[in-house]
A and B are shown apart, each in its own frame.
Chain A
Amino acid sequence: MALNRSSTRDVSSALLGAGMFAPALVYMLLLVALPFALAFVYAFGDVKVGSTEYHFVGFENFASILESPSFRKALRNSFIFTIASQVLTLIGSVTLALLLDRQFRGRKWVRFLVLLPWVAPMSIGAIGWKWMLDSIYSVISWALIALHVFKPFDAPMWLGEPELAMLSVILVHSWRLLPFSTVIILAGLTAIPKDIPEAAAIDGASFWRVLFQITLPMLRPILNVAQLFGIIFTFTDMTVVYLLTQGGPFDSTQVLPSLAFSTGILGGDLAAGAAIALFIVPLLLIVAFAMLRAAHRAELT
């Protein structure tokens, strides 16, 4: 008899749980899972904006974009963009976190300033940089000319030359990502017990040895989390590219998301846009899987 009573309580508890979870689940299914499936439908069809026709065309869309030089360029650029910004962000945020991990006067102000790039809306920061990198009025160019690094009127076109444009886009994106990474790593640093670096100091380890052989290895799980978020975010973002260079010059800064946007939305070719965008997903899954595996292994060892 007692068994019966507790099981009906369990059932009603489970029902309540399902009921409370359901709205969020249904919402996500309708607005994420369904459109995701729809993207596949488009990619395998011939949908265009303005028409309601649909014909299944198999892999035709994928085949044609794989042949397009714009696509190949965008694919390559996406990797360069992501890897370069991640490396920069990693080095920068670890350095900054270590610098901030001690008490000093004015620490609150420094923290405020350091967080600005992340707190301001991304597009705002990007447009601010666009002004700073303007081909005629760039303050950076002016400063470099004043320091005699360049001759007057001979400063480079930061956003106009292919390699420089890519570099600019990478730098602006890393600039934006740095505070977020730093905050995560700082949290990881505070989790290291104080007597471990003290023991290392007593053992005779120099500053660099403690950093590379004790601190960084102990930070590995947190670093993985920061990297994972960073990679997902960078690989799927088009804001900086769209606002700074629109993918130019000559597709040199075009990345997969921005190409998907200009093809699918601006160009109206929804099918091709969906196909391009779909390329992002498996790549993302592979990276996420690899990082989670590495993190898991790091925790076991």
Chain B
Amino acid sequence: MSLRGRFAHAALLALIVILLAFPFGWMAITAFKRTSDLYNTENNPFLFNEPPTLDHVIYLFQETRYLRWVGNTLFVGVCVVTITLALGLPAAYALARLTGNWGRRLGIAIFLSYLVPPTLLFIPLSRVVSWLDLQDSLWSLVVVYPTFTLPFSIWLLTGFFKAIPKELEDAALVDGLTRFQAFVRVMIPMSISGIVSVVIFTFTLVTQEFIYALTFISSESQQMLSVGVPTFLVRGDVYFWGSLMAACLITSVPTALLYNQFLDRFIHGFTAGAVK
């Protein structure tokens, strides 16, 4: 590429990257700035006019329920991942191997559920939740979340299963395993990559979810990260921006690093499923 072309390429890329990543840089700066510096409109906000401070972070961990929300989210995440795998693995296997046309139609039907959005279902589901006496409990989320993690996971796993040559299972059957045993002892170990993708993806969906958590959970101690942070770090009408941004930063960075590690594998899974 010509020198001018390369310069234009770099400049345009830099511009877009700044637009996308700047808010996170800003979170970082805000989280460590003294309140007096933050709220002084005379100061240049890009500089630390007063020395940085850990006050907001300390406040976040000691005076708020942040750690509790992290624990809640992890708990729901683990439960939902378990349920998704427990329901999804057999279903994906059935779709990939055992059912013919019927299965394909059912698979599409399950995927069509994405057209029924949470912003419609949350109204009747809020009633279902209160009938089950699960309102304001994390279990309500554990029960409801698989509705949106399951379809995509089934689709992803079906793609992975289809990619495993049928001969391997046939060999297992000839060796004396039943179909189900072949599923557990051959298919599952061979699709670890797909399973990991599902785990990561499901966990991400759980951390991201907002509407159901907002609707079903009302008390501060039972809330999830994604609702707790924007909602409960306010006292009255006053936003505690320093701690708020600290919470945002601490929540975003680990997930981003984790995600980055697994991204290639995830894309592979996504495109493998899509190409089938």
Contacts and interface: CB of A to CB of B under 8 A. Distances in A.
A16 B98 contact: yes
Interface string A32-55: 100110110010000100000000
Interface string B234-276: 0000010100110110011001100110010001001100100
B88 interface: yes
Contacts of A96: 13, 16
A127 interface: yes
A109 to B, nearest CB: 9
Contacts of A99: 9, 12-13, 16
A115 B87 CA distance: 30
Contacts of B116: 32, 36, 281
A24 B88 contact: yes
B257 to A, nearest CB: 8
A36 B16 CA distance: 41
A187 B110 contact: no
Interface in A1-49: 13-14, 16-18, 20-21, 23-25, 27-28, 31-32, 35-36, 38-39, 42, 47
Contact size class for A? 35 or more
B94 A28 contact: no
Interface string A271-288: 001100110110011001
A225 B275 CA distance: 12
Contact of A124 (B95, B120, B248, B271): B248
A131 B124 contact: no
A45 B252 CA distance: 43
Interface in A104-149: 104, 110-117, 119-132, 134, 136-137, 139, 142, 146
A145 B124 CA distance: 48
Interface residues of B, number: 88
Most buried by A among B117, B118, B252: B117
Given A28-B150, A36-B120, A225 B259 contact: no
Interface stretch (A59-67, A162-170, A198-206, A258-266): A258-266
A223 interface: no
B252 A281 contact: no
Nearest to A264: B123
Contact of A32 (B113, B204, B247): B113
A179 interface: yes
B113 A225 contact: no
Which secondary structure dominates where chain B touches chain A? helix
A79 to B, nearest CB: 16
Contacts of B32: none
A211 B99 CA distance: 43
A179 B16 CA distance: 11
B87 A27 contact: yes
B161 to A, nearest CB: 12
B45 interface: yes
Interface stretch (A212-220, A231-239, A293-301): A231-239
Interface string B85-124: 0111011011101110001001000100111111111111
Given A28-B110, A131-B241, A121 B120 contact: no
Nearest to B258: A119
Nearest to A24: B91
B222 interface: no
Interface stretch (B17-25, B54-62, B74-82, B191-199): B17-25
A231 to B, nearest CB: 11
A125 B255 CA distance: 13
Given A39-B124, A113-B21, A239-B211, A131 B99 contact: no
A21 B210 contact: no
A280 B38 CA distance: 42
A115 B210 contact: no
Contacts of B123: 39, 42, 260, 264-265, 270, 273-274, 277
B122 A24 contact: no
B227 A123 contact: yes
B146 to A, nearest CB: 7
A243 interface: yes
Contact of A123 (B44, B151, B210, B270): B210
Interface of B: 9, 12-13, 16-17, 19-21, 23-24, 26-27, 30, 38-39, 41, 44-46, 86-88, 90-91, 93-95, 97-99, 103, 106, 110, 113-128, 143-144, 146-147, 150-151, 154, 179-180, 183, 204, 207-208, 210-211, 214-215, 225-227, 229-230, 239, 241, 244-245, 247-248, 251-252, 255-256, 259-260, 263, 267, 270-271, 274
8 contacts: A36-B116, A113-B20, A116-B21, A121-B208, A128-B245, A237-B119, A260-B120, A261-B214
Nearest 9 A/B pairs, CB to CB: A17-B98, A236-B117, A257-B119, A20-B90, A38-B124, A24-B91, A120-B252, A35-B124, A277-B120
Interface of A: 13-14, 16-18, 20-21, 23-25, 27-28, 31-32, 35-36, 38-39, 42, 47, 92, 95-96, 99-100, 104, 110-117, 119-132, 134, 136-137, 139, 142, 146, 175, 178-179, 183-184, 187, 225, 232, 235-239, 242-243, 256-257, 260-261, 264-265, 270, 273-274, 277-278, 280-281, 284-285, 288
